[in-house]
A and B are shown apart, each in its own frame.
Chain A
Amino acid sequence: MSLLQVKNLVVEFAHRRGTLRALDDISFDIAPGEILGVVGESGAGKSLTGASIIGLLEPPGRVASGQILLEGQRIDHLSTDEMRHIRGRKIGAIFQDPLTSLNPLYTVGRQLTETIEAHLPVSRAQARQRAIELLQDTGIPAAEQRIDHYPHQFSGGMRQRVVIALALAAEPQLIVADEPTTALDVSIQAQIISLLKKVCKDRGAAVMLITHDMGVIAETCDRVAVMYAGRIAEIGPVRQVIEQPAHPYTRGLMACIPDMASDRHKLNQIEGAMPRLNAIPAGCAFNPRCPQALDRCSRQRPELMLAGATQAACWLHEKVTA
């Protein structure tokens, strides 16, 4: 059974001049121990998907319909208190900027032991011992001394390791990592990504990795979901999505990325920009920019359908399912 199921999730923002639909009918699932990548441009709804799962949607944003199930239990309509027990215990979260996700006034040890004590039945001394082990596992040297340091005494990469330790503190089954390496240098990014991959594999935790970096997705994930204008455009095994993208948007996105291997004189570009939420075109949201748009694309909205080894929301692949 899948660990996390998201069914027809719709997130809306009530606004003076009507309601904006930021996530429109998103469905996917994550199996235990799996790493699902979520990729897309800014404003595609990646972070919002993550925030809905961990129950941190900021008002006026709200889950308008659909379900989020963790181990078969609905978690999208829980109270703040009930959700607090799930966060940390069952779902860990890692955010982009490690400096803002740590409290600058507390030592990292206090933040770790607090989390451990809140979720696990252990004594203070045991919690501290466990915090030291966590710091060691995430590759922080001299953990016994470092545990009493404040966040500002750590470098960016070290801080992100502390945040990973914090997310793992109560042994959650799912980690939602929202752009965990975007604020870091490439060389540090490589370390953090392989660390995240290793610790999650060791503990059997599933990861939802939100990023805009296709390279990170390619090296880390088992499956990937490509988002565009609040919908999933394509979802499938990472190799197929990258090597044989089925959706024209995925193809365009891949071609935009400057490649270390080829010497193209000009980069391919997708003309235009992603539509604003108040002006999402009818039919397929990508149709005005799509080089292969059909007549019906501007009238009828495609749902995810089988396209080779992946699923794509595109009418081009309709005959495959028929």
Chain B
Amino acid sequence: MSENIPLVVARDLAMTFDVSAPWLNRVLEGKPRQLLRAVDGVSFEIERGQTLALVGESGCGKSTVARLLVGLYQPTRGSMQFDGQDAHAAYRSADARAIRQRIQMIFQDPYASLNPRWTVQAIVGEPLREHGLISEEAELNDRVADLLRSVGLSGQDMGKYPHQFSGGQRQRISIARALATAPEFLVCDEPTSALDVSVQAQVLNIMKDLQRSRGLTYLFISHNLAVVRHVSDRVGVMYLGRLVELADKRTLFEQPRHPYTRMLLEAIPKMHQTGQARTPVQKPEHRCKARCPIRSTHLAAAPSTPAVHRPTSVAKPSDRPCASSRAYRSPAIRSERPAADRVECVALAILRHSAQAPGHSARQPTILLPPA
């Protein structure tokens, strides 16, 4: 369709899981319903041929976003546009195959995602047969051999079984399978986390080469910031189901704005900084403070703005939600320029508000546009 709109546009995607006790227990013991907001209003765009990386700790909702995009889950709120059409409506329609062909997924564990009883030919050829792209056996073999060669394996490997390959080779088979239907958009959920560094380098190089030669668009999910820095064009940082910062790779790594992003960057063990002290061990009762350094330093350094959060009237930090945890409970005000870099943080909002109008209270966490 149109070339000037982003290929993937997610708008306020949310996924809520019901984790309540069983019905009978709720009735007898008066337990309330409990909802787990795995993804709570995530918006982003991915331009054609670009890579958006999502990073965050376990449980932050990255994989749920991936599953929403490929249609494994129906979102509880929000929508995803793929090439101008509503993807989730398309997944439900009779013509779901058309969109499934164009969006494929690579999973984390190459040991679990390949059927051990199928040959590589059956694994890689399945999408081709399933989508009715190729029916003749000879043609299928040629195509599978082509696909295997494109990921650096040999055409002769198609008669083998997954256990005959190493981890890196298996992940290449997964990539070949994902490429079989000639998709435009690949969702990669931690594709190299199960691999050794030397093998990871091989797989990442193949993914980059394929992106260049086929114009692929990637959503790349990882917890490894160094890998993300290597593969991505834009980076979204997720925390507890929300996108707390979304920026160009360069901006994010050179000028991280959200305290959580900074904390993540500082936490990475660095190869060329041997023997340096780093983040001290924090006692968990100071978790808010520990996890949000900018907030405490700002409030300590600028006593002229106590009206905003009244830090002096608070007895124990654990007694109330800190700025960062509150950020994920209340809805955010989204910026009007969605393509620009976004940061969602109360502390930064305070800084900004106090700079503009001293004493002005910023209760709602805001997605801020960084100052020009």
Contact = CB atoms under 8 A, between A and B. Distances in A.
Nearest to B206: A269
A288 interface: no
A219 B275 contact: yes
Interface in A166-201: 185-191, 193-195, 198
Given A258-B230, A260-B253, A269 B279 contact: no
Contacts of B229: 258, 260
A24 interface: no
A242 B274 contact: yes
Contacts of B208: 265-266
A69 interface: no
Nearest to B196: A41
A218 B230 contact: no
A42 B274 CA distance: 24
Contacts of B138: none
B281 A218 contact: no
Interface residues of A, number: 45
A259 interface: yes
Interface string B66-105: 0000000000000000000000000000000000000000
Interface centre among B263, B270, B283 (most CB of A within 10 A): B270
Interface string B165-197: 011110000000000000000000000000011
Given A190-B278, A219-B273, A259-B226, A273 B267 contact: no
Given A212-B197, A218-B271, A141 B284 contact: yes
Contacts of B202: 269
Contact of A218 (B168, B197, B270): B270
A183 to B, nearest CB: 9
Interface in B233-274: 253, 263-274
B223 A186 contact: yes
Nearest to B275: A219
B308 interface: no
B198 interface: yes
Given A198-B281, A267-B230, A270-B201, 6 more contacts: A190-B279, A191-B279, A191-B281, A215-B268, A218-B271, A242-B271
B166 A273 contact: yes
A186 B57 contact: yes
B282 interface: yes
B227 interface: yes
Given A41-B196, A190-B279, A267 B269 contact: no
A270 B283 CA distance: 42
A82 interface: no
Given A214-B197, A219-B276, A260 B226 contact: yes
B167 to A, nearest CB: 7
A195 B281 CA distance: 7
B205 A269 contact: yes
A213 interface: yes
Contact of B196 (A42, A187, A254): A42
B330 interface: no
A160 to B, nearest CB: 12
B274 A258 contact: no
25 contacts: A41-B196, A185-B58, A186-B264, A187-B57, A191-B279, A191-B282, A194-B277, A195-B281, A214-B271, A215-B270, A216-B269, A218-B273, A219-B278, A239-B274, A257-B201, A258-B201, A258-B226, A260-B226, A260-B265, A260-B268, A260-B270, A268-B201, A269-B198, A273-B168, A273-B199
Given A41-B198, A214-B271, A239-B274, A258 B204 contact: yes
A58 interface: no
A212 to B, nearest CB: 6
What's the dominant secondary structure at chain A's contact region?
helix
Contacts of B275: 219, 238-239
Interface of A: 41-42, 139, 141, 158, 185-191, 193-195, 198, 212-216, 218-220, 238-239, 242-243, 252-254, 256-261, 264-270, 273
B362 interface: no
B205 A189 contact: no
Given A215-B268, A260-B253, A141 B198 contact: no
B296 interface: no
B153 interface: no
Nearest to B253: A260
Interface of B: 57-58, 166-169, 196-202, 204-205, 208, 223-227, 229-230, 253, 263-285
Nearest to A241: B274
Contact of B272 (A141, A193, A212, A261): A261
Contacts of A189: 267, 269
Contacts of A41: 196-199
Nearest to B192: A258
A252 B198 contact: yes
A198 B176 CA distance: 46
A194 B279 contact: yes
A270 B282 CA distance: 39
Nearest to A138: B281
A252 B142 CA distance: 35
Nearest to A183: B58
Nearest to A249: B198
B213 to A, nearest CB: 14
A171 to B, nearest CB: 21
B211 to A, nearest CB: 12
Contacts of B271: 214-215, 218, 242, 254, 257, 259
Contacts of B282: 191
Given A239-B274, A257-B271, A186 B281 contact: no
Contacts of A141: 283-285
5 A-B pairs with least C-beta separation: A215-B269, A256-B201, A185-B57, A267-B201, A41-B196
A219 B285 contact: no
Contacts of A264: 230
Contact of A194 (B167, B265, B266, B281): B281
A158 B263 CA distance: 19
Contacts of B285: 141
